[in-house]
Amino acid sequence: MEIIRFIKNWTLPIAMLSGVAGYFIYVNIPFLEPTHSWVNQAVNFIQPTLIFMMLFLSFCKVNLHDLRPCRWHLWLLLIQGISFAILGGVLILFRNLPGRILLEGAMVCLICPTATAGAVVTQKLGGNAAHITTYTILINLAAAVLIPLIVPLVHPHPGLTFGNSSALILGKVFPLLLCPFIAAILIRYLLPKFHTLLAHYHELAFYMWAVALSLAIAVTVKSIVHSKINILYQSGLAVISLISCIIQFYAGKKIGKIYNDQISAGQSLGQKNTVFAIWMGYTFFTPVTAIAGGFYSVWHNLFNSWQLYRRRKRITDDNLKQKN
């Protein structure tokens, strides 16, 4: 029982360490080398499947009538949009700016939409899953407009127009976000008894996310290990992504506190869809820039682990006070 309790309490750090250790163990077993391409394909299938299932279970707990814009949504959209535009403007004005890759990395971290799994962690922390789900939809729409408008001026790509860039972004994120949402709504109204049963198992979504996180960390480690840029730039991108993570969690929580929704706002701005960030780096900037998204994945999951520890400790302390 102690082992099970330990695993439940430290799920995220265990998942992250499993991803790192799993990658290095796997690639260093010679007779498994022929399976590398098959495993890559399997991961590309398993990750979105897990995300779909965990979002579906989370959305079964969300009431459709609760999905409405909040005042803090506007402030967070402005923070992401304006900071992204300001950094883009600096890079457009100063084409030969030293270390521009670092600012590009910051742009990726700042405009990146909220993680599709954000609702899972928000529920676990005691926040409002409906509010973060609404913001996730809004920021994906905003990113689909802002990225094609600004990035071609910062980092021109022949053939990438506003229209096809927007279509690329929407095609990347919206099927995985909307399909489980629609499925949960249909189940709610067509099979209410089954929906009630599923709602009791929404905690399972957290553990599905832990498996998806382990795979994401393994992919992140792979991208960092195989990167051909020097350690100085890698370290710089690690620092830039850490600063971006701290600022966004801090700003989100500060604004959320004003509207009595600190957890949901903090997770909305701080917890990112880092798979999208890595893809955005490769597609619209350079493979080097994509590393910023990989490092951000580490930072925001470490912070989430700490938040979950703090909440668990607070609940334990409150229970002890009640007993005494």
pLDDT tens for 226-258 read 767 777 878 899 999 999 999 999 999 999 999
Higher-pLDDT residue of 110, 285:
110
C-alpha span between 118 and 123 (Å, rounded)? 9
What integer is the mean pLDDT of 133-154? 85
**For the chain, how many residues are written?**
324
Which pair of tokens denotes residue 103? 């600012």
What integer is the mean pLDDT of 205-218? 78
Mean pLDDT (the chain) is 83
Tracing tokens 């999208």 back to the chain, one arrives at 276
Identify the three-state secondary structure at position 114.
Answer: strand
pLDDT of residue 200: 72
Cβ contacts of 257 within 8 Å, gap of 6 or more: 265
Burial of residue 168 (number of CB atoms within 10 Å: 0-12, 13-18, 19+): middle
Chain centre distance of CA 262: 18
pLDDT of residue 177: 67
Cβ contacts of 213 within 8 Å, gap of 6 or more: 12, 15, 16, 19, 301
pLDDT of residue 8: 66
Identify the three-state secondary structure at position 1.
Answer: coil
Which pair of tokens denotes residue 37? 């391409």
| Residue (of 224, 284, 277) closest to 106 by Cα position | 277
Residue 317 has φ and ψ, to the nearest 5°, of -65, -40
Best-predicted range by mean pLDDT (13-27, 73-87, 132-146, 154-168): 73-87
Question: Of 49-53, 293-297, 309-313, which range is least confident?
Answer: 49-53
pLDDT of residue 268: 94
Dihedral, CA of residue 127, residue 251, residue 66 and residue 138, to nearest 10: -130
pLDDT band for 157, please (50, 70, 90 cuts): low
Higher-pLDDT residue of 7, 17:
17
pLDDT at 6 over 70: no
pLDDT band for 173, please (50, 70, 90 cuts): low
Tracing tokens 């742009």 back to the chain, one arrives at 107
Task: Identify whether the C-beta of residue 46 lies closer than 8 Å to the C-beta of residue 218.
Answer: no
Q: What share of the chain has pLDDT > 90, as a percent?
A: 22
pLDDT of residue 9: 66
DSSP annotation of 112 reads P
Question: Of 59-63, 91-95, 156-160, 246-250, which range is least confident?
Answer: 156-160
pLDDT of residue 155: 73
pLDDT at 260 over 90: yes
What are the tens digits of pLDDT across the range 76-94?
999 999 999 999 999 989 8
Identify the three-state secondary structure at position 244.
Answer: helix
E strand segments, 63-171: none
Question: Of 50-59, 181-190, 298-307, which range is least confident?
Answer: 50-59
Q: Tell me, what amino acid is at 307?
A: Q
